[in-house]
Amino acid sequence: MYLWANIEIDPSEITVIKRIDNDQLLGKLLKILTLGLSSDKIEQETFTVVSILQEIQMGLMRIDVNNVIRLAVDDYDYFFDKNANEDDLHHAMYDLETGIEPMESQRFNKIELELEHHDDNIKYLIEIKILRKHKVGEYPIKITINGLFKEFEKRSKESMTKLRERILKLFRNQYDYDSYLHKMQEYFNNFIGELEDSLSNFIKIDGIKKEFNRKIIRPKEVVKNDYVYKIDKSVEPLFHGYPGIDKYMYYCMIWASACYRNDINCSNFMLIDEYGNLILRAGNNGIYAGRNNTMNYEETFEPSKSKDVVYYSGNTFDKILLENNLIEISEDTEEVQVSDFSNIYTEKENT
């Protein structure tokens, strides 16, 4: 179990909407370049890499979030902390400001800033993505936060048996389990509120969207002392493979099994596979984990029979979900990519 939040921000910078002229020749060119999936319009933000990151830097430092893991522009790393140094946000910004070309700062496609932070109770992983070009109505700043429970960090030379014994105190009864999660959720939500307020002091904001949830990992196999967790850069920061995060992954990987063994009612959460892909989303009524093998990694996965569950495709249990008619998978799996085409847009409008 870990906590998850997604924040999307629409900054009050000047935004232009560029319309694609769909005459015959241009239409054919766009169809080729976008695999037939071109859109009539995209939004393009006018802020530069340096200007927007300086605003974000001031907002982060105001609440003492200053431990950078990675800072990249268009997949080029201007800063990567290999030594797990603390208080290096200013170093990362210096490396960026002295290394980036002015034209690149203006015509970037994507900025990625990843940080870690902690308080007395929670270890935070923060990923900030900024898109210069995006679909009309889509917010260009996307922030994903993972919250891990610090007290269950795997200790040096601690066995999985000892770690399991430490977390089992939460699963003695439903009240203890729910009380602990409620307390940790409050800590997490308070931090998210502070982050939002601090950023809004330095970034003029037109709109903001927020979503919170809890996530439980359901591995496909038994988790042992030598378990190597899966790394996938395309999902949230917990799965990016950064140094030291594996010490928190162990408790996350055995949480579902502990719920199963104690028949805990798990509600308002997302179940994901070991790669971070969504399996199901449960609502207020939730599922009783001990009633079947939905959460039990020692047996073959079984879909929950709860009516309070929605299933998703794109995970390691797709075959089982398909056999039970719980999902449908489209044959069209091509990704839509929006290209620049800045030299062939014929019209632009201010929003």
Q: What does the alpha-carbon distance between residue 9 and residue 206 come to, in Å, rounded to a whole number?
A: 8
Question: pLDDT tens across 281-297, in order?
Answer: 999 999 999 999 999 99
Task: Give the mean model confidence (pLDDT) for residues 326-337.
Answer: 58
SS3 320: helix
Residue type, 224: K
Q: In the structure encoding, which two tokens stand for residue 269, read together?
A: 């959460």
**Predicted confidence (pLDDT) at residue 17 exceeds the cutoff of 70:** no
The answer to whether the CB of 139 falls within 8 A of the CB of 9 is yes
Bridge partners (DSSP) listed for residue 116: 67, 125
Residue type, 309: V
Question: Which pTM value belongs to this model?
Answer: 0.84
Question: pLDDT tens across 29-86, in order?
Answer: 444 455 544 455 655 555 788 988 999 999 999 999 999 999 999 999 999 998 878 8
Task: Give the mean model confidence (pLDDT) for residues 134-148.
Answer: 88
Q: β-pairing, 67-73 with 41-45? A: unpaired
The answer to whether the CB of 208 falls within 8 A of the CB of 8 is yes
**Predicted confidence (pLDDT) at residue 279 exceeds the cutoff of 50:** yes
Polymer length in residues for the chain = 351
DSSP H or E segment with residue 51 = helix 49-62
Mean pLDDT of all residues in the chain? 85
DSSP 227-266: ------TTS-GGGS--TTTHHHHHHHHHHHHHHHHTT-EE
Residue 42 is predicted with a pLDDT of 57
Residue 331 is predicted with a pLDDT of 56
- Of residues 10, 5, 9, the one with CA closest to residue 211: 5
237 contact partners, CB below 8 Å, separation of at least 6: 114, 125, 126, 127, 144, 146
The distance in angstroms from the start CA to the end CA of the chain is 42
Residue 45 is predicted with a pLDDT of 53
Q: Which of 114-118, 325-329, 330-334 has the lowest mean pLDDT?
A: 330-334
Q: In the structure encoding, which two tokens stand for residue 154, read together?
A: 């795997």
SS3 58: helix
Question: pLDDT tens across 157-185, in order?
Answer: 898 899 999 999 899 999 999 999 999 99
Residue type, 38: S
Question: pLDDT tens across 229-259, in order?
Answer: 788 888 999 999 888 898 999 999 999 999 9
Task: Give the mean model confidence (pLDDT) for residues 178-205.
Answer: 95
Residue 339 is predicted with a pLDDT of 29
Q: In the structure encoding, which two tokens stand for residue 201, read together?
A: 């002091």
Cα–Cα distance list, 252 to 31, 152, 175, 238, 261 (Å): 45, 9, 20, 10, 15
Task: Give the mean model confidence (pLDDT) for residues 208-222.
Answer: 94
The answer to whether the CB of 153 falls within 8 A of the CB of 123 is yes
The answer to whether the CB of 126 falls within 8 A of the CB of 237 is yes
* Reported confidence tier of residue 128, pLDDT bands at 50, 70, 90: very high
Task: Give the mean model confidence (pLDDT) for residues 16-33.
Answer: 48
Cα–Cα distance list, 132 to 13, 100, 103, 286, 338 (Å): 11, 16, 14, 39, 11
